[in-house]
Structure 1
Amino acid sequence: PWVVIPDTVTDAEIQQYGQFLEQQQSLYHFPEIMIELGNENWNGLFRGAGIVSAASYGLVAERDFTLLQEAASNDPTVKMVGGGQYGNPNQVQQVAENIPSAPYIAAAPYFWGCQDTGQSTSTYLTEMFNDGWSNPANEMIPIAEGLKPGQTAVTYEENLTTTGGSATTAERMPIQAGYASGGALEQQILRVMNSGFRMQNVFAFEQLQINGQDGVYGYTGQCDANPPSGTNVPLWGLVHDLNASSNLIRPTGLAVELANLAIAGDFYPVNTSMYPNVTGAAFLTSGKWSALFSNGTGSSQTIVVTFPSSGIVPATMRQLSYTSGPTDMNESSPLVTIGTGSVTSLGNNQVSVTLPAWGAVALTP
């Protein structure tokens, strides 16, 4: 569990909550319990109950965390999280310095903030997979490298954030809620992982839509045009709804499911430089290899993966699959599913797999 407690919490509430955590831990034996003070303290939108100054935030967080741990009998599984602003690595590092007891420092690598009207499907999909501003290599690596010894970078939220730009609701729906959004999110998950971040949380579990917004998310010239009045954006729910008769899972939710199929044990980077816009990572657990890949191009790509000489190589492939095309959605019926693919053994711990266009693939033993 990752729990946010409010900045306005009282000492009595901290005492009560620490005791509650200790009781729950005796029942469930979680490997870790993540505790974060306040939601996006850096964000002026929450100024009424937030602490914008990194130094002041650090002082309050250190004090409250100390009280909480004491109330939880100093349980070592209770881990403190300090949160910072993704687009401002220096601010995140200030948070890390001011909350030295926090082993985790969190940021939110959202991507593709702007979709403008009148462009082709291919252009939209290319933009979604190639958003230069939010490439984690530009923001996340400086954050991970700038932390204090003993601190690890994690993400408290991430997903598409395409509320800006002049695109209409009809233009946004098949892109932001379509099949390819799953592949784009998988790409971001992999890029963040390859940037040195240990764990990631995708936002959010369930949500139908929000209203489009004007250019408040514009960076480096993006989103100069505002969405038309009444624009709705199918963000951010991984699950479309919680109706027992449908229980529709969006492509982004299926991408998270694929990621969790593959991620286990120890992480290993994968060199995919010979395949355009392919991103990947491999994992070794109990002598068995698994892997996760995304393909950010409009054509399928057959790749060869060479695993180390020790360990059992993957033999099973799961992938995002559409019914008609890359703009298929799961808004009213499950047109996007997790399907199967083929893993061809080439010997010498090599396998060959074909990555679908704009797709995501998990390889498992």
Structure 2
Amino acid sequence: MKMRFMNLQREEPNQSRSPSGRRGMVIYGLAILSLVFFLVTRFFPLNPEGINILRLAAKEMEAAVNIIRTCRQAKALSFDLQADPNQTGLIGLRSSILTTSLGQLEAKRTTTNPDLAALIVYFLRQAGVKQGEAVAIGASSSFPALIIASLAAAKALKITPLYIVSLGASQWGANDPQFTWLDIQDCLRKAGWLPYEPVAVSLGGAKDLGLGMAAEGKELLLELAQAKGLRLISEPDLEKNVALRLSLYETAAKGKRLAAFINIGGGWANMGESEEILHLPPGLNIIDRSISTAKGVVWEMARRQIPVVHLLYIKGLAEKFGLPWDPQPLPRVGQSAFYLEARRSSGHFKLLVSVYLLISFVLIILYRFS
């Protein structure tokens, strides 16, 4: 009997786990679950279609830059390796007859990163833009790379870009008289990359009349625009200028919904004259306030409840969305931090998080009530 009692005592611990043992099993289970969650979200695309569209846009821009580089070489135009070490052909001159204002070289070089096209896709998808719709683009030739990025994004999303471009440019933009935005555009069209024409062009600069630009520069741009048969906007009254642009966008849309407006640079007509525009952050803006005077196209689009992608203040844009500042050489496509954010914002990721939290909750409940 004594021996049997001792055997029962030895068997008793195996019939139920101690609280510390159960706690250890729960912690072990949560650790394994967390590791699996980390590996899946880190190394496997949760929304491959969405990520592929981002990469497609970046690849489109990369192809455009290669075309421009080759085209510039074919014209026997050299590269300033100090200003344009990546030889993109999208960095202009410190000063020329087409220069309208000051510009930051590092910002211009940052915009030549093909991942900018992917970022614009990211913004447009967040804004709810769908295939077959139209987006209006108000662009300054101060940032030719951003114009190309926007067009590459449109190609990837299969939407129609309706763009109006001011031809004058700030320092380091498309201000080379031998390689203006219209020349860049011609390179892309002849190579079959660009199937679109601008809705209209303007001189840009103060009052959209090229004020601040050399007289020879204005004459050159006017001759180029006329030779190509482009619609020229030349209206110094802000309200009338904005109204004309909106009318041109609507006509060019041919009944398609204007799903977003992309503002590139600090063009007078697009920005307006109100100081309110200075508080608009770079990136996607769903503007829920209005102003009464000196409104540019940005505010008129906002008044119509059209999302605005504001591409200015490039330093802030790069910092906010994880783009390298002034990269040399240009990084490989898909390296920017916002790609991870694009994964996390997908429905697949949210579903996975929900499953992770549910299983964790069940494990904790089982532990507490076991």
TM-score normalized by the length of structure 2: 0.26
Q: Which structure has the higher relative contact order (CA within 8 Å, separation 6+)?
A: 2
Structure number with the higher strand fraction is 1
Greater helix content: 2
TM-score by length of structure 1 reads 0.26
